[in-house]
Structures are given as structure tokens and as C-alpha cells.
Chains A and B, each alone.
Chain A
Amino acid sequence: MKLFPILGGIHPEYRKELTSEKAIVALPLPKTLYLPLQQHMGAPANTTVSVGDEVKKGQVLAKAQGAISAAVHAPTSGRIAAITEMTAPHPSGLPQLTIMLDSDGKDEWAEPMAAIADPFAASANEIKTRVAEAGIVGLGGATFPSAVKLGLGGQHKLEILLLNGAECEPYLTCDDRVMREFAAQVVDGARIMAHALGAPKVIIAVEDNKPQAVESLKAEAAKTPNVEVVGVPVQYPMGAERHLTQAVTGRETPARKLTADVGVVVHNVATARAVHQAVRLGRPLVSRVVTVSGGGVAEPKNIEVPLGTKVSELLDFCGGISKATKRVISGGPMMGQPLPSLDVAVVKGTSGILALTQSETNEHASSPCIRCGSCVTYCPCGLVPVEMASFIRNDKLDLAAKIGVQDCVSCGSCSYICPSHIPLVHFFNYAKGKIAALDRERRKTEQTKSLVEAHNARLERQAQAKREAAAKAKAAKEAAEAAAAAQAQPTIEGGANA
């Protein structure tokens, strides 16, 4: 298959050998699970249980709320111990409403949802509904509710479901293991999704550094028509949705549009497996595969983890972390996020927990920019990070926006390559946040202004109506008087005549 070059990109040290040959193992059931109500993009879910309730594995604990949201299910059977605010697994460390579930150790399933006997005969809506009921979100890390994305077939003419198995982040091997060990489930899930999307073709793209995954998938794809497996060059950020789409199809997604606008929908391979389980087995998303790795971890592993497991417990299962650990990251080292504490939960978007040492992070104090242009050369979005950073530093956010800071995907290639170790992405995230906040502020002001205007207009209308009514009344009165007078006149006249 012909591939297309992508712009820029870097070759970080991949360090996947730490876990790539470690088969997925199951985590012993933790005593307590902590399930934040927001494990996805969009609005947090709404609890449907109360403290003290006995629940079974797979039972709904919280329902999706609004158009973009996802349900939360019990990862095991037990009793709801509390519904309380706890530190979220997010660098902000802000508290978030969380369901605490005490396991009863039986791990008993609730009555599962009925399997959809022949998904390829089912309607798109039926599959979409099932995926929504199963609480599935994009497991690549973006955590966009998958059902919403499966509805894109209604509005767009789709040609390709592109399954993202690139896994271009260093260290992470969870997708690699899923592709190797569950190739049949992945391919089946992909075909079901393609059916729901109305996309005639499935392409599974895997970076060339995972030959076994490519092989397993190819063997599986050979059994069905319209599924193609393609190895893509090892080049970060190959796994970025728009870049993968371009590499495989040559189609460039217009800014501010979706890949669906060029006929392609991208889903992660682990998401496909979750769809398979939801549709074929009626199983909601209650666990995921997590790579625990990094130089600070005693025994790096790939683990099937019940959602809600505390990170500290997960790390203990891997022999704990050493004193040399400098940072603990959720996700990969390029786009992952630092954890505010080890007492936070594994959520649907947690692809990896990495304990990195100084030699792995290679962090240094930053020195002045020497304008070497590396950030420009390696930016996969064609941006000029050096210039954007200098605008942001001088508080000229409008100029930074003008040259595209909002088109930045925060992949980190520029920061990684910068010889002066300038935290460029940090600048851009700050600017994006600030610009969004200013936008909200402006919209709010405009809204207030238009409300005030509407209010004034209403008052004016009312006053006008009052005036008109008064004028009318006056006119009517005058008319009546005139009429009365007129009536009186003939009487007099009449009288006179009489």
C-alpha cells in the first residue's frame, strides 16, 4: 500500500523493550475502587446509585449526561462506600465527585446486556446505542465518547475506518499487546464499527516497530474482505489522528474540521476491542490494559486493570518505584500528564503509568533561544514555535493566535528537540487556555450586552405599547366624547327642530 509522508516529526528513544514482550496479566482485585464521574471528554456522568447500595459487576453506577458524556459501570461487585470529592487524576489536582466501591471479593457479574446476535444485520443506531450503554470512550487517551464518533456516518460520507494502532509514544506497549493477544477481537470490533459508520473499508495502521502485532492482525484480516493492515513509519507523532490519516490516505484534514470531512474516521485499536466485547458479549467497559513502565519501576508490566484502581496499588503490584524516580506520568512521556499524587485512580483514558528517572527525562534548566529553527523543522503542523513562544512571552496572544497557536496539537516535538530546553508546549498550552478563557469572557460580555439590549428593547416596547394604549384610549375617549357630543347636538338640533 502506498504511504504518504507526514510533515516534521521526531524519533525519540522508544524504550518499548521494557514491556513489549510482557504478556498482559490481570491485577488482583483491589479492596476499594475509586470511580471519578468524569472519565471522558464532555459532561460528567450522573450517579444512579446511593451510598450503601449493593452492586454487581457491570452494573451502571452513573449515566451519561448530555450529548457528549459516557456512563460509568461497576468494575466488580460490592457495596457503594461513599460518593465524595477526591483528587482527580489530572495535573490540576482538583477534587472531583468520585464513587467509592468496596469490593465484596466475589467479582459477580450482573445480568449482562443481551449480545447482538448479528451485528452486521443490526442498525447503526442499535450499535451506537450499545456502545453508549457500555460507556466506551476513545482508549488511546483522548477519551472522546465512542458512540458520538460512531454517529458521524449520519452526517458524512465515510469511506474508511482507520484503526489507530500506531502507538507512537515511547514506553507504551498496551496497544501492541492488545493487537498481538486479541487480534481477532480487534478486527471484529473494527468491522462492527465500520458497519455502524457505513464505511466500506477498514485500514489498521501500526508502526513498523511492532512486527508481531502487524503479523497477528494480518492473519486475522485475511479471513475477511475489506480489512487491510498497514505498517507505517516509526515517526512520532504518527499516532496523531490527522497525521495518521494523511500518512495512510494522503488526505489532509482542513483546519477546524474533522477527519470525517475527508471521509475517514479514526478509532483506537483498544476501543475496537471494547466495542467487540460490548456488542458480542454485552460487557460494558470496566477494565483496560495499562503499561506500567519506566526506569523507576522495579518490574515493568502490561496489566489488565479494573477501572478505579489506585495508581499506588498498581505500582506496588509492579514492585514499587525507586527513589531515583523523578516524575510519575499518566500516559506517554510526550503527551502524558504528571500525576498530582499516587492516590489517584486509573481511569478509562489511562494508557500508561510511567515512573521516569532523571536520565530518562533528561531535564535541564533552559538557556536562551539560539533560533536554531529545529522547532520549525520538526513541527508536524507547519508552525513556527520559536515565534509563537516569543509572542506569548511578550503577552501578544493575538499575534500568537494569528500565526496558528490554536493549530498546535501539543505533541511536544518542538520541546523535545529544542537544544535550549525551552518548555515550548508549556507556553502554547498556557496561550491556548488563556485565549479560550478570553473568548469565553468576550462571548459572555456580548451575551450580557445583548441581554441588556433585549431588556431595554422590551422596556421600550412596553413603554411604547403603554403610550400607544394611552393614545388609543385617549383617542377612543375623545371619539366617544365627540360621538356623545355629536349625539347631543342632533338632540339639541332635534330639540330645536322639534
Chain B
Amino acid sequence: MSIVIDKSGPFTHGPNTVSKTMFTVLAALAPATLYNLWLFGLPAILLFIVTMAACALCEAACVRISGGNPDRALGDGSVLITGWLLALSLPPWAPWWVAVVASVFAVCLAKHAFGGLGQNVFNPAMVGRVVVLVSFPLQMTSFVSPKPLFTPGSPGLSESMTIIFGRGFSLDGISTASPLGFIKTELSKGVPVTQSLSSFPSLGDMMIGFHPGSMGETAVPLILLGGLFLMWRKIISWHIPVSMLATLFLLGTIFSTIDPARHTGGMVQLLSGASFLGAFFIATDYVTSPVSKSGQLAFGFGVGLLTWIIRTYAGYPEGVAFAVLLMNALTPILDQHFRPRVFGRTRKGEPLPVRGDK
């Protein structure tokens, strides 16, 4: 035996590692993903594979260029989460090149240009999504209604290949808007929300994901299940999801009560779009969210507020991706202003008064 003295204690370590954490997140995403891949059929599966592969390739290339070990980088699982979340945030039948462009921006620009794992300011998957959303709005807002695998109307392999790798699906024929997009368009035509809601999927259908939308955002109960699993495994805490969803719900409820013709209610805000996926899996991204609990509460509130504002007043029907990115930019400031109180000190950092000193 040779005695090694190279560092201070502790000389024992917990079982947690970066890759364990990352793969737990993937496990939590799996049920919702599988359900949605089934719901949107073979084209969605192909697109998912394309996105994951593109992200992994980008990661390997960037790490190799910067002189790192690509195997180790892929092994930590972080890029798989990026690819996975990116795939879930694309329209399920989007063409392959949309996925590839998004992947390149997500991994090479948003992650590695900032220095790789842990250094990025913005959530890579959301950067990828937003880049293609503003570049290719047509492809990014053409959704399909669910066509589950093994049911009539679900495209076969060759048709799926054509949809993803070929000339795309016939936009006129089956493309449709997401519920929030639909309401937005109707509103711009002067149709009040109360009326457009009538041709809206029922809240029940929205719960089980039977409505057009991005690949991973439509199965609310399974996303919630995954989120609760992450909380149980102590990977994430309740602070960001609860403050974000509560803010969104309260704003929706308050404003739809005041003016139901212009505003959707709290439940619609929660169940449509990427609210749940965003709350549990995107806004909670470690690297780009604050480290303290109070900072996380503020961050969640900010994401909820911005999501609601963008959905209500901006040109895009969807707000989560933009809201997350905007709050990512504020994370360093939140980290500075929301620190826990130090033991034995006041919030301002002065030592507590000694008893009787007051």
C-alpha cells in the first residue's frame, strides 16, 4: 500500500455521479416519449433518431476539436438529454434538416462555443428550437393530429421516409395548428376565445395528449409522472416547476375571469403547449437555472410570467422556449441576489446580534 496525500477530506463520497443524474433524467422522460412516439407514429420515431444522432455527432466533433475525450463526453449523458429534449420540442413530422440545423445550433453553438458541459448560459435544446422556429416558421408550426402506430392512417415505413427525408408531408392536407396557435389565429380574426374554445379539444383529450402539438408536450400525465419521479430521486426540487406552473395558472385564471373573450383560462394554459415539459424538464436544467432555492422560485416565477406574456401578447402562440431563454440570461443575476442566509448571519451578511445586545 502506498499512502496518498493529495487533498483535504472528506475521504468518502456519495454514490451520485454526473452520468447517473443524466440517465435518471432520461429514464424519467422515457414513458412520455414512448407514448408520444406511439401517438405520432413512425415518422416521429425517425425524427427522434435523427435528432439524437445529430446531437451526438456534434458533441463528439466539438469535443474532439477541443482536444477532449469524445467517449467520456458522450458517456456523461448530457448531450443525450439535449438531443432528446430537442426532438420532443419539434413538430413530430418535421423534415430531417430542421432537426439537423437545430442540433448543430444547440450543441455546437449554445453548448460548446461557451466552453462545453456546465459552461453554457442558455439551455441548448431551447436555443436549437428557437433558431429553427424563427428560421423556418412554416415547418415549425405545421403539426399533425395524432395518428397512433398500428392504427389505420398511420404512415408505413416508406411513407414515413418520404415525410421525414423526402418532400415532407402534404402541408395542405393534414397539417394543422396547435391549440394555442389556433386560438391565436382566431383571435387575430376577431373571434373571441370563448367561441374558438368550442372547437378546441376537450380538457380530457388534452390531458391524454390527443391534440396536435410538439412531439413531447402532449402527454401531460406522463410528463408529470416523470417529474415526480425526478423529485422523488431528489434530482430536481419542487421550486421551479411549482412556481412556474402556479404563476401560469394564476395569470390565466385571473385574466380569463376579467376578460374571457381575450384570455384562455388557467387549465388551458397548463395543459396546452409545453407547460409541463418546460416546468419539469427544461426550466429545471441545472446549468442554466439558479443554484439556490429562493433563486429557483424567482426563476420559475419569471418563466411562468414570460410564458404567459408571450402567449398572450407576442406574435408566437408558444412561449415556453422564449421564456426559458430569457430567464436563462437572468440566471447569473438571480444567483447573485438570491443566496441562502449564512448560518449565524443576517440576510445582509452581518453577524446576528448577541442576545441582550439589541
Interface residues, chain A, with chain B CB atoms under 8 Å away: 7, 10, 12-13, 91, 93, 170, 242-243, 252-257, 261-263, 296, 321, 323, 325-329, 333-342, 354, 356, 360-364, 367-374, 376-377, 379-384, 386-387, 403-404, 407, 410, 412, 415-421, 423, 425-426, 429
Contact = CB atoms under 8 A, between A and B. Distances in A.
A382 to B, nearest CB: 4
Interface in B43-78: 76, 78
B237 interface: yes
Given A262-B355, A368-B119, A255 B344 contact: yes
Contacts of A255: 342-345, 351-352
A362 B5 contact: no
Given A371-B286, A412-B9, A419-B21, A257 B351 contact: yes
B148 interface: no
B21 A356 contact: no
A425 B355 contact: no
Contacts of A383: 340, 342
A252 B344 contact: yes
Contacts of A257: 344, 351, 354
B292 interface: yes
A364 B342 contact: no
B342 to A, nearest CB: 5
Contacts of A254: 344-345, 351-354
Contacts of B1: 296, 321, 323, 325-326
B76 A387 contact: no
Interface in B289-303: 289-293, 296
Contacts, number: 186
B339 interface: yes
A421 B13 contact: yes
Contacts of B341: 382
Given A255-B342, A335-B9, A381-B343, A372 B352 contact: no
18 contacts: A170-B12, A243-B343, A252-B343, A255-B352, A257-B344, A262-B354, A325-B1, A327-B11, A329-B11, A362-B15, A367-B117, A371-B286, A372-B286, A373-B286, A376-B293, A376-B340, A410-B9, A412-B10
Contacts of B286: 370-373
B258 interface: no
A252 B354 CA distance: 10
Contact of A12 (B4, B5, B12): B12
A393 to B, nearest CB: 13
Nearest to B20: A419
Central interface residue in B14, B76, B286, B340, by most chain A CB within 10 Å: B14
A373 B118 CA distance: 12
A285 B354 CA distance: 35
Nearest to B21: A419
Nearest to B340: A382
B interface majority secondary structure: loop
Contacts of B287: 370-371
B224 to A, nearest CB: 22
B344 A415 contact: no
Contacts of B119: 368
Contact of A13 (B3, B12, B78): B12
Central interface residue in B12, B117, B287, B289, by most chain A CB within 10 Å: B12
Interface string B230-263: 0000000100000000000000000000000000
B291 A429 contact: no
B186 interface: no
Contacts of B12: 12-13, 170, 333-334, 356, 360-362, 416
Given A257-B354, A333-B11, A420-B17, 12 more contacts: A254-B344, A263-B355, A327-B3, A333-B12, A334-B11, A338-B11, A368-B116, A377-B293, A379-B340, A381-B344, A415-B9, A416-B12
Contact of A429 (B5, B8, B13): B8
Contacts of A170: 12
A253 B344 contact: yes
Central interface residue in B11, B344, B351, B354, by most chain A CB within 10 Å: B11
A261 B18 contact: no
B349 interface: yes
